[in-house]
């Protein structure tokens, strides 16, 4: 059924998307944020969060040298601390996939490439297709595509659906993350609807944002997307991954997000196979907190390498 | 790819070390701590671990008489002579002192009553403070509240509060009484006296004139003596319907003004177009808030048949991340049942539900070995005629019934001797208005539940009582009107 729904079928699927109440959503989040994550649970959470990071550089001024440095950091987060996990993946533009792939070698760290005319998605489908194929040909393990938000907002759900399904087909074994750019959507109802649409079209992961627009991965948006993943799992038994990106820059926020995943989806999602943080500055804050837990003292930011 | 599971939060206990409990508490009468004429004290127990907290004075009729006399004298000589603005100043001072001591009050409330520290810290104490702030503002505007009417204070108000929201119910009663110019004799519930006694200290610290607030601790006989006292002008009671009926009988033929806020078996209704995940969360808040010790708890859930299976499935999953445990643990969602007696009542009702053939679900969670605890409990396949669906359990026990049409659910929801509150979950505004006109309940929440605000009146229909507390309506319970 995946990937080939007709317009009436898609319409009836989206008609089943439940409405989302903003106030109730906020209440659920307040409950989670009131929890106290301390001691061994905090340590475990910090390590888990580190292992779930897609370490990202997505700038016009990216160069092979910059990407190589990022890839080194991905493998050596903070060698002063023993037994740290590595991040899950490095996330770059298609032109940098080859560089990253080579730099990461057989470290086990994945290379994720943004595609489909990231971040706006405003390009003809042929271009998006070439963009994706280029990344795949250079060895991308994961594709982070953007959806056509304009088409979605104008009600052309079939277009958005077909586009995702077509990119999914190109991906073969590569895992497809679908970016909604929720900061450009209007309501949690729309976030829920596009989540259901993307999951039906074959997304392996759903992802909040490009990181280029604020607001990005807010708690209400992430909770709404987790709700779609949970309903899909209950209906089909199929797990879908979640990637909040943009705005989660502190350990406290990251731990609260992980707790939300645990409570809403269950512990099966607490691995980097099913959950990622799209972030660049989060890693160092996690490392600082980790060192603080180990030594009882906060170290200066100067002790943690940027990149 | 690495995978980790078994990520469990550690206990995070709020420290009670900063709380200095006295070994023995006396009565607070005429601005002073006085040993009871009864010469009797009772043990106060921490329901979280059954440890002894303090000995508390057990006032008798003679003690009540002293307190009422003190209140009468304070009314005649001091309080009735103050302007509204002056009374308001005292109330503002009390409110600010309560805020300053919020943490201490929250810990005391949790130690004494077993409610989760998250709730006493984030809900009970802030709301109690807000009630004082709110009524402080009314004290000099009473004539504006009732324009064109002749109003006057009643005199001495006898107030009897329950154990489920000890300080909050005190605030609901004391704040409007004082704002309207009355003096007060308050009898807190026997299992939860500590925050009322702390409140007495706050009144002293605020310089409130002696005798304006008197606290007489004790059991039901103490309350009965207060109700029976001939010099009390008003009785305000929050508690069980059975006791409420006795009080009403006792007041027959007297000039006492009476308000009763009693039990409930409130209906929470989920229609098929509801925002389902938020409705499920609303159910959690409606029945498991304060261990279900809430007069307006949404203890009867009605779900439209087309979505019933899904709602029940989601509720069961949600219960897996409800933490039942020590009330001082900041992660606790459901704390200790208030008393052994109440735990026995709840357990008796669970047995009744099972005997009636309803299907029970409880999550697989460990309970502390000491103290009074009860797992969150769902009953499905419940009939309207089942006792478990008709009688107030006052615990974390939810009955779930299904319905087909709006007409059916209105009939079933109203088919109860109670009428305190109701909840409606739907995406359609018209249905909210339609249902709220037909449901016989004093409070109706739409797409939320258990929301309280000092500006909003609260009270029931039928055997849930009469009179309103909160808001402008709450003032009229403490005033006499003559045109």
What confidence tens digit (pLDDT) does each residue in B97-149 have?
Answer: 999 999 999 999 999 999 999 999 999 999 999 999 999 999 999 999 999 99
| Fold of the domain spanning B267-446 | Aldehyde Dehydrogenase; Chain A, domain 2 (3.40.309)
Query: What total of structural domains would you count in chain A?
Result: 1
Q: Is the pLDDT of residue B483 over 70?
A: no
Q: Is the pLDDT of residue A2 over 60?
A: no
> Residue A50 has which token pair?
């580190």
Q: On the CB side of B83, how many CA atoms lie within 13 Å of its CA?
A: 5
A253 is a domain residue = yes
Q: What is the mean pLDDT of residues A174-189?
A: 97
Say yes or no for a CB contact (<8 Å) between A268 and B5.
Answer: yes
pTM of the entire predicted model: 0.95
pLDDT tens profile A7-62? 999 999 999 999 999 999 999 999 999 999 999 999 999 999 999 999 999 999 99
Q: What is the mean pLDDT of residues B287-306?
A: 98
Q: Is the pLDDT of residue B180 over 50?
A: yes
Of residues A24, A108, A262, nearest to B7 (C-beta): A262
**Contact residues, chain B, for A53 at CB < 8 Å:** none
A2 is a domain residue = no
Whole-angstrom distance, CA of residue A305 vs CA of residue A280 = 12
Domain limits for position A228: 7-303
Assign B273 a pLDDT band (cuts: 50, 70, 90): very high
Q: What is the ipTM of this complex?
A: 0.95
- State how far residue B458 is from chain A, nearest Cα, in angstroms: 22
Comparing alpha-carbon positions, the chain A residue that sits nearest to B279 is: A24
What pLDDT does residue A4 have? 85
pLDDT tens profile B68-106? 999 999 999 999 999 999 999 999 999 999 999 999 999
Q: Return the DSSP state at B321.
A: T
| Fold of the domain spanning B24-262+462-482 | Aldehyde Dehydrogenase; Chain A, domain 1 (3.40.605)
- The count of other CB atoms within 10 Å of the CB of residue B21 is 14
Whole-angstrom distance, CA of residue A70 vs CA of residue A55 = 8
C-alpha angle A264/B289/B6, rounded to 5°?
Answer: 35
Residues of chain B with CATH 3.40.309.10: 267-446
Based on the residue annotation, tell me whether B69 is a catalytic residue of this protein: no
**Residue of A15, A28, A108 to mutate, interface with B, max B Cβ within 10 Å:** A28
Based on the residue annotation, tell me whether A204 is a catalytic residue of this protein: no
Q: Is the pLDDT of residue B445 over 60?
A: yes
Under the phi-then-psi rule, with left for phi > 0, alpha for psi from -120 to 50, and beta for the rest, what region is B260? beta
What pLDDT does residue A161 have? 97
A281 is a domain residue = yes
What pLDDT does residue B36 have? 98
**Contact residues, chain A, for B1 at CB < 8 Å:** 88, 108, 271-273
Distances (CA, A) of A241 to A17, A38, A108: 19, 26, 19
**CATH code, domain carrying A176:** 3.20.20.70
Whole-number average pLDDT of chain A: 96
Of residues A45, A51, A227, nearest to B277 (C-beta): A227
**Contact residues, chain B, for A18 at CB < 8 Å:** 275-277
Quote the crossing angle between the two packed helices B276-288 and B305-319, to the nearest 10°.
Answer: 60
Q: Which of A64-73, A202-211, A298-307 has the lowest mean pLDDT?
A: A298-307
What pLDDT does residue A3 have? 72
pLDDT tens profile B310-368? 999 999 999 999 999 999 999 999 999 999 999 999 999 999 999 999 999 999 999 99
> Residue B411 has which token pair?
């009939």
Q: On the CB side of A210, how many CA atoms lie within 13 Å of its CA?
A: 22
A257 is a domain residue = yes
C-alpha angle B268/B272/B277, rounded to 5°?
Answer: 70
> Residue B69 has which token pair?
């006399």
Q: Using H for helix, E for strand and C for coil, what is the string for A161-202? A: HHHHHHHHHHHCCCEEEEECCHHHCCCHHHHHHHHHHHHHHC
pLDDT tens profile A235-277? 999 999 999 999 999 999 999 999 999 999 999 999 999 999 9
The larger pLDDT score, comparing residue B168 to residue A306, is at B168
Q: Is the pLDDT of residue A1 over 60?
A: no
């Amino acid at each position: 059924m995946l990937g080939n729904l007709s317009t009436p079928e898609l319409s009836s699927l989206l008609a089943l998307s439940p409405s989302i109440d903003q106030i109730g959503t906020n209440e659920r989040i307040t409950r989670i944020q009131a929890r106290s994550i301390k001691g061994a649970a905090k340590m475990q959470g910090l390590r888990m969060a580190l292992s779930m990071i897609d370490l990202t550089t997505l700038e016009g001024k990216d160069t092979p040298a910059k990407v190589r440095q990022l890839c080194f950091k991905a493998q050596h987060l903070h060698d002063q601390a023993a037994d740290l996990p590595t991040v899950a993946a490095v996330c770059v533009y298609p032109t940098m996939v080859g560089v990253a792939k080579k730099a990461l070698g057989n470290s086990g760290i994945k290379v994720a490439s943004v595609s489909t005319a990231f971040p706006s998605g405003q390009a003809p489908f042929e271009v998006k297709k070439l963009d994706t194929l280029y990344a795949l040909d250079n060895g991308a393990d994961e594709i982070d595509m953007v959806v056509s938000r304009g088409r979605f907002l104008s009600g052309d759900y079939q277009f958005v659906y077909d586009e995702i399904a077509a990119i999914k087909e190109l991906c073969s074994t590569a895992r497809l993350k679908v970016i909604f750019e929720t900061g450009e959507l209007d309501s949690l109802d729309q976030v829920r609807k596009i989540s259901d649409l993307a999951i039906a079209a074959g997304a392996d992961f759903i992802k909040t944002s490009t990181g280029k627009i604020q607001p990005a991965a807010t708690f209400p948006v992430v909770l709404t997307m987790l709700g779609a993943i949970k309903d899909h799992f209950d209906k089909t038994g199929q797990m879908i991954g979640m990637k909040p990106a943009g705005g989660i820059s502190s350990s406290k926020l990251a731990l609260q997000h992980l707790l939300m995943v645990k409570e809403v989806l269950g512990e099966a999602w607490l691995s980097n196979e099913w959950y990622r943080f799209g972030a660049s500055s989060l890693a160092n804050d996690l490392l600082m907190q980790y060192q603080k837990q180990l030594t009882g003292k906060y170290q200066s930011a100067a002790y943690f390498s940027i990149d | 790819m690495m995978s980790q599971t078994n990520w469990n939060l550690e206990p995070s206990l709020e420290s009670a070390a900063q709380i200095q409990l006295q070994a023995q508490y006396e009565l607070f009468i005429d601005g002073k701590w006085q040993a009871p004429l009864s010469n009797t004290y009772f043990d106060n127990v921490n329901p979280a671990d059954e440890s002894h907290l303090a000995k508390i004075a057990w006032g008798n009729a003679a003690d009540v008489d002293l307190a009422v006399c003190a209140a009468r004298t304070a009314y005649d000589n001091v309080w009735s002579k103050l302007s509204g603005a002056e009374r308001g100043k005292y109330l503002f001072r009390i409110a600010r002192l309560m805020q300053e001591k919020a943490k201490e009050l929250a810990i005391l409330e949790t130690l004494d009553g077993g409610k989760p520290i998250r709730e006493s810290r984030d809900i009970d104490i802030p709301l109690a403070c807000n009630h004082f702030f709110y009524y402080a503002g009314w004290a000099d505007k009473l004539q504006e509240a009732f324009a064109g009417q002749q109003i006057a204070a009643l005199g001495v108000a006898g107030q009897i509060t329950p154990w489920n929201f000890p300080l909050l119910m005190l605030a609901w009663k004391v704040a409007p009484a004082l704002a309207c110019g009355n003096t007060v004799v308050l009898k807190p519930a026997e299992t939860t006296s500590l925050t009322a006694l702390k409140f007495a200290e706050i009144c002293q610290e605020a310089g409130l004139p002696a005798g304006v607030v008197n606290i007489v601790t004790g059991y039901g006989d103490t309350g009965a003596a207060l109700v029976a006292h001939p010099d009390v002008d008003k009785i305000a009671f929050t508690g069980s319907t059975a006791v409420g009926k006795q009080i009403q009988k006792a007041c027959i033929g007297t000039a006492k003004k009476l308000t009763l806020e009693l039990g409930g078996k409130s209906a929470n209704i989920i229609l098929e177009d509801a925002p389902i995940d938020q409705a499920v969360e609303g159910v959690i808040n409606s029945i498991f808030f304060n261990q279900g010790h809430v007069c307006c708890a949404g203890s009867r859930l009605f779900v439209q048949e087309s979505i019933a299976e899904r709602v029940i499935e989601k509720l069961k999953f949600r219960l897996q991340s409800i933490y039942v445990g020590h009330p001082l643990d900041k992660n606790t969602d459901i704390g200790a049942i208030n008393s052994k007696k109440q735990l026995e009542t709840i357990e008796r009702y669970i047995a009744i539900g099972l005997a009636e053939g309803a299907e029970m679900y409880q999550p697989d969670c460990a309970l502390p070995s000491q103290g009074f605890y009860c797992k969150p409990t769902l009953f499905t396949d419940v009939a309207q005629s089942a006792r478990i669906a008709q009688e107030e359990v006052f615990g974390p026990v939810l009955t779930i019934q299904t319905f087909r049409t709006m007409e059916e659910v209105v009939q079933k929801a109203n088919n109860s001797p109670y009428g305190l509150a109701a909840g409606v979950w739907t995406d359609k505004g018209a249905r909210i208005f339609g249902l709220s006109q037909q449901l016989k309940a004093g409070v109706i929440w739409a797409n939320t539940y258990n929301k309280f605000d000092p500006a909003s009146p609260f009270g029931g229909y039928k055997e849930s009582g009469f009179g309103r507390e909160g808001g402008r309506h709450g003032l009229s319970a403490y005033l006499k009107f003559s045109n």
